[in-house]
Structure 1
């Protein structure tokens, strides 16, 4: 699933209060909602051409503030955690460690690999999927809400990859009540026959990453490479 690269709106978001409260990216909630709704409209209207790479030049029809927010959230290579400092990374690992151990035991996968995957998808918890009011969806693994999914979701402008390279699109992503629920859901997914190749891979991150790619987990052609880089960083620490 590639870490979502833009910002989010719940399809059934309630009206926001007029009080100004900080939201995602440190913006007031009303401003955050206005900017990311502009981004979602921009993508849905087809102004970011599907075949055009996601670059500053491709976002020129957005307002300056929305363009800055989109590009700020859409940095490509945060594989080594450049977007989060050492203390933020330490806190993230500490917070998800028991969840990663439980999921790893069920899957037969080293917990640091699942920690690294959550870090890659969420930018070490610094770039979570957010609803229109800035609230966290707790979706640490970028799982999409497909046709058979009946739970809560958020509509998201995100980056995918095709024959022409990176392009912007709008997808529906799952929304959870907690990080623990996110870990349980990704565990259920990876226990399915589709991802049999990841099961029981232990500490072999190369085999795990190859299994994810084989199962179609992400469209990013460098996903396996990025995941392995994060795991290497965790093990060095």
Structure 2
């Protein structure tokens, strides 16, 4: 299970991050956690006061600390219920890819609007395409043709595109895991554990998404999920 607080920028797993420093003594675990909290707080404060140009940007840990400080809302009850339904599928795919299931759940939430904005077939049926995978020439399954948005040189452009259509959500997760695990373009995403920012950036670099803010958006959704588990 995902720790209530975690650092998305720490590749390989989740790291606890307390709500406030604990008075367990400077030499104990509470003292080290308190020092980390104060350090990240100071970095975020400098960033807000001076801006990215002056401070060189936030570290991945501080970026997530800033999000978890209150910049995101916890998932609604309906969203939590949806996350619970896909959790076993995310766990299975996560084991195959070396990615935390919560990160994959965040990815599916980002692409599908928490399951509320599914890609639909011409007949109006749910395609169960939770990861926005397009129907390339190699795809042999059903296809859903829809209007989408692509970014060219940072500018959003409307496009008509074909997307893969599945019988159920389990098929979508398995196909996604097979695609990411077997493609040389996305090898950087494998084994990223709970590092949602690194996972998103690796996908972006591999050409998974054209949105220049894609990795940041994914990390924000992951922070929402973490906030809901406090």
Q: Normalised by the shorter chain, which TM-score bucket?
A: 0.5 to 0.7
Q: How many residues align?
A: 157
Once the 2 structures are TM-superposed, how far is the Cα of residue 164 of structure 1 from its aligned partner?
5.7
Q: Does 1:232 align with 2:223?
A: yes
Q: Does 1:162 align with 2:145?
A: no
Once the 2 structures are TM-superposed, how far is the Cα of residue 186 of structure 1 from its aligned partner?
0.6
The answer for the alignment partner of 1:193 in structure 2 is 184
| Rounded Cα–Cα distance in structure 2 between residues aligned with 1:185 and 1:81 | 31
* Equivalent residue for 2:88, pick from 72, 84, 98: 98
| Rounded Cα–Cα distance in structure 1 between residues aligned with 2:217 and 2:154 | 20
The structure richer in helix per residue is 2
| Rounded Cα–Cα distance in structure 2 between residues aligned with 1:200 and 1:164 | 29
| Partner SS for 2:156 | strand
The answer for the alignment partner of 2:168 in structure 1 is 178
Give the 5 Å matches for 1:126-145: 126-145=116-135
Can you list the C-alpha shifts for 1:148-197, whole angstroms capped at 9, x where unaligned? 11111011110111126101010110000000000001101110222110
Q: TM-score scaled to structure 2, two decimals?
A: 0.65
Distance 1:121-1:81 versus aligned 2 partners, 3 A rule:
farther
Once the 2 structures are TM-superposed, how far is the Cα of residue 132 of structure 1 from its aligned partner?
2.2
Q: Does 1:208 align with 2:229?
A: no
Give the gaps of 5 or more residues in structure 1.
1-79
| Rounded Cα–Cα distance in structure 1 between residues aligned with 2:78 and 2:212 | 27
Give the 5 Å matches for 1:77-96: 86-96=76-86
Distance 1:81-1:133 versus aligned 2 partners, 3 A rule:
farther
The answer for the alignment partner of 2:17 in structure 1 is none
| Rounded Cα–Cα distance in structure 2 between residues aligned with 1:162 and 1:227 | 20
Once the 2 structures are TM-superposed, how far is the Cα of residue 81 of structure 1 from its aligned partner?
7.7
| Rounded Cα–Cα distance in structure 2 between residues aligned with 1:131 and 1:178 | 13
Q: Which moved more, 1:129-138 or 1:174-183?
A: 129-138
Give the gaps of 5 or more residues in structure 2.
1-71
Q: What CA RMSD, in Å, does the superposition of the two structures yield over aligned residues?
A: 1.7
| Rounded Cα–Cα distance in structure 2 between residues aligned with 1:143 and 1:176 | 11
Distance 1:156-1:105 versus aligned 2 partners, 3 A rule:
same
